[in-house]
Amino acid sequence: MLRNYFKIAFRNLAKNKVYSAINIFGLAVGMAVAMLIGLWMYDELSYNKFHKNYDRLAQVYIHQTFNGSTGTGRAVSIPSMTEIKTKYAANFKYVAMASWNFGHLLVNGDKRFNKQGMYAEPGLPQMLSLTMLKGSTVTTLKEPGSILLSESVAKALFGEADPLNKVVKVDTKYDVRVTGVFADLPFNSDFREVTYFLTWNDYLAAQSWVKESQQQWSNHSFQCYAQVTEQADMDKVSRQIRDVEKKHTSAQENPEYFLHPMSHWHLYSDFKDGKNVGGGIRFVWLFGIIGVFVLLLACINFMNLSTARSEKRAKEVGVRKAVGSLRRQLITQFLSESLLVVGFALILSLLMVVLSLSAFNELAGKQVSLPVGEPLFWAMLLGFSLITGLLSGSYPAFYLSSFNPLKVLKGTFRVGRWAALPRKVLVVVQFTVSITLIIGTIIVFQQIQHAKNRPVGYNREGLLQISMASSLFGKYEPLRDDLLKTGAVYEMSESSSPTTGVWSNQIGFEWEGKDPQAIPLFGTIACTHDFGKTIGWKVIEGRDFSRDYSTDTSAFILNEAAVKLTGLQNIVGKTIRFNSKPYQVVGVVKDMVMESPYEPIKPTIFLMDYGWANLVNVKLMPNVPVEDALKKVEAVFKKYNPESPFDFQFADSEYEAKFRAEERVGKLARTFATLAIFISCLGLFGLASFVAEQRIKEISVRKVLGASVFSLWGLLSRDFVRLVLISFLLAAPIAWYFLSDWLKQYEYRTDIAWWVFGLSGLGATVITLLTVSFQAIKAALTNPVKSLRSE
């Protein structure tokens, strides 16, 4: 019986090739989109699950109150973590201090590579359950002078030779011994960029300020990871460690530590006023909903085309019922047709996914793949196909099987005036979703452009940022002179932060009239002479740092946001004390966008300190070709630092990277909106073809009576345009509600303009007319004699 069902189903598909192709292709596109989004969601939701202790791992975070608001960060102090280790040792299996993930030069003979890695205490590799290829996580970082390499870095440095106990030189300053090799971490791990671990003791020995920080409770410059014991409750332990620092700092700062579980690092990383407000999880929900809707659009096409052709199959149903078929048998018959269509669509969708996966990975910034070797994947795919088949075939099956056989066989069966209503509702649903996605895509693009057009306050063009090797410290003047002599460099300076970030935030500032209870936090950037000229900042009050004033080593330049925070009027010439040392304000510069382009400008103070600066800023001559200029700049840097490769970043490229997440969302939304419109138009094309076929005699009569092609085109197009306009009226408020809520996460945001809705509605209408017009004009041009010959 089942075999017979599928045989008849196949014959029906072969008989109606156009409608079958529309159904299969539309469902295939919808299923392919759903599969790609499913793979993306799985990758997001399984982030960091590679680490075996995933459920017990956490990073220590801190809430602090500055400038009247509570901020949350990962930077902690060494004394506080030492107290957590000793006072609450029973709750933890491991507690490990770590540096930030920095780039270091690794050298073995003539092989030199700048790679990302971190200093860490011995417990961290064990916490992360690294897959050890050589050595052991238990002993690898216990001895000073040790290094644990990733497999790829070990091969880059030593080839196929055994790297254990081999020597690697770090930053051309000191040697370390390879004590272990671990398998490269997967792409969906927050530690994927960590390619080696150095010992914490070497960090203390290499950096004097780090050693001093062991006694400084307020120096939050480090990271700390922890693994709670099997018996411990993470929330309870988090509450216990909350106040470890309060008695050592001011009450106004109100530092509160807590454990942020590894399960929340990737998708719940955003905090506002000391509360977790989500993060990447909103994109998981967003694209999950989009995937469901795109698949639903494809299913609606199947429903519409199946029910639209009901009169064609009415006699078949009547005959089957007359010879004894039960309704449940007819339902099974029609569902088998649906499942056959879905089966063909599944094969085609898998082919689409395979062909588009590399492009999708590039678009989404992922490295997902089809897990064809996993039985669970095929089981889920089968279940997914079954649900799709039942979803798309259930309504047509119940509708077609409900026909009265007596009326059908007597020729008195008519579908009725309301029979088309469900199809119209489904078309409205399709275009409501599509128009909402179009509006969303435009608003996301607007928001990105709004932020990109924000005045940044300095000149990014031709500005290089280069990390300072140890051999460059103390050689500012000769390095600058040599660079200027090349004729390819306009100016050079050094600073402690790039123009695209503020790496240090400080308290301890006092001035006349300051509220004694307030603890203002300022971004603090040390720089050299010529910094302002190099980056092209705009001095709006006072003057720039100058070699004509020897007192500028005790001078401040503030940005506008910093001046506003102090509340001082005519601030130039006034004194601000920093850690009890007096500094005179010599200038005010226009606000510069150095961090997120979507957020308010951070109050920032610039001071002149050659010893603190660790970045070289080079401004290229605008009239020299960039390639030639870079060769000349590289030659100068090689003169002072021959052992290190010449690594640099363009400031404009680093600034563009700040838009990467939003641009990725925008591109994905644009892609899915395009596919949603395509699927909707595919169904519309099929419906228009059916309507034209159904009304061909009416069109012929009208044509004989003198109707023009244009009037017949309008007759056939009018109903579809009306449905799209209803869809627009529903989509506009839905889009406005959700996009207004989405924009609230940005302090610096665009307004939702009325023309966006008008353009989207107009665009949908034009697309509808183009889709319907082919069938409408084809019907209007048909020779009426052929249609009316039998009348």
pLDDT in tens, 463-485: 999 988 777 888 899 999 999 99
Give the model confidence (pLDDT) of 48-97 as tens digits.
Answer: 999 999 999 999 999 988 877 888 999 999 999 999 999 999 999 999 99
DSSP secondary structure code for residue 76 in this structure: B
DSSP secondary structure code for residue 165 in this structure: T
d(CA 87, CA 464) in angstroms, rounded, equals 47
517 near 565, Cβ under 8 Å?
Answer: no
Angle at 98 between CA 96 and CA 103, to 5 degrees: 155
Burial class (CB in 10 A: 0-12, 13-18, 19+), 561: middle
- pLDDT mean over 101-112: 86
Contacts of 774 (CB under 8 A, 6+ apart): 685, 688
> Which of these ranges, 6-20, 128-142, 497-511, 577-591, has the smallest mean pLDDT?
6-20
Residue, of 332 and 44, whose pLDDT is higher: 44
Strand ranges, E, within 22-87: 57-66, 69-73
Most confident stretch, 469-478, 530-539, 751-760: 530-539
Phi, psi of 20 (to 5 degrees): -65, -45
Residue, of 275 and 699, whose pLDDT is higher: 275
**pLDDT at site 332:** 73
Reading the block at residue 772, the tokens are: 């319907």
| CA nearest to 54, candidates 150, 189, 183, 186 | 189
d(CA 93, CA 91) in angstroms, rounded, equals 7
Please say if the pLDDT value at position 382 is more than 80: yes
Chain-centroid distance of CA 489 in Å reads 36
pTM over 0.85: no
Give the model confidence (pLDDT) of 389-433 as tens digits.
Answer: 777 777 666 666 665 555 555 555 455 555 567 777 878 888 898
Per-residue confidence band for 544, with pLDDT thresholds at 50, 70 and 90 = very high
Work out whether strand 522-527 and strand 604-608 pair parallel, antiparallel, or are unpaired.
Answer: parallel
HEC secondary structure over 559-604: EHHHHHHHCCCCCCCCEEEECCEEEEEEEEECCCCCCCCCCCCCCE
**Measured between alpha carbons, how far apart are the two ends of the chain, in Å?**
42
| 731 Rama class: left (phi>0) / alpha (psi -120 to 50) / beta | alpha
Please say if the pLDDT value at position 613 is more than 90: no
Neighbouring C-beta atoms of residue 657, cutoff 10 Å: 12
**pLDDT at site 606:** 96
Give the model confidence (pLDDT) of 243-262 as tens digits.
Answer: 998 888 766 678 899 999 99
Neighbouring C-beta atoms of residue 739, cutoff 10 Å: 20
- Give the CA distances from residue 297 to residues 31, 293, 587, 690, 766, in Å, rounded to whole numbers and listed in that order: 10, 6, 60, 19, 20
> Which of these ranges, 308-312, 348-352, 610-614, 733-737, has the smallest mean pLDDT?
308-312
**pLDDT at site 665:** 82
**pLDDT at site 50:** 92
- DSSP-based three-state secondary structure for 180: strand
Mean pLDDT, rounded, of the chain: 85
Neighbouring C-beta atoms of residue 642, cutoff 10 Å: 9
Give the model confidence (pLDDT) of 131-189 as tens digits.
Answer: 999 988 888 888 899 999 999 999 999 999 999 999 999 887 889 999 999 999 999 99
> Which of these ranges, 181-185, 557-561, 705-709, has the smallest mean pLDDT?
705-709
- pLDDT mean over 603-617: 92
Per-residue confidence band for 338, with pLDDT thresholds at 50, 70 and 90 = confident
- pLDDT mean over 579-593: 94
Give the model confidence (pLDDT) of 498-522 as tens digits.
Answer: 999 998 888 889 999 888 888 888 9
745 near 655, Cβ under 8 Å?
Answer: no
| CA nearest to 638, candidates 471, 492, 495, 486 | 471
d(CA 405, CA 316) in angstroms, rounded, equals 9
d(CA 55, CA 593) in angstroms, rounded, equals 38
Reading the block at residue 373, the tokens are: 């070797």
Please say if the pLDDT value at position 238 is more than 70: yes
Contacts of 455 (CB under 8 A, 6+ apart): 593
Give the model confidence (pLDDT) of 678-693 as tens digits.
Answer: 888 877 777 777 676 6
Contacts of 543 (CB under 8 A, 6+ apart): 586, 587
**pLDDT at site 174:** 86
Residue, of 380 and 712, whose pLDDT is higher: 380
Per-residue confidence band for 105, with pLDDT thresholds at 50, 70 and 90 = confident
Angle at 560 between CA 554 and CA 565, to 5 degrees: 85
- Give the CA distances from residue 117 to residues 62, 102, 471, 477, 787, in Å, rounded to whole numbers and listed in that order: 23, 6, 21, 31, 77
Which DSSP string do the residues of 9-35 spell out, in sequence order?
HHHHHHHSHHHHHHHHHHHHHHHHHHH
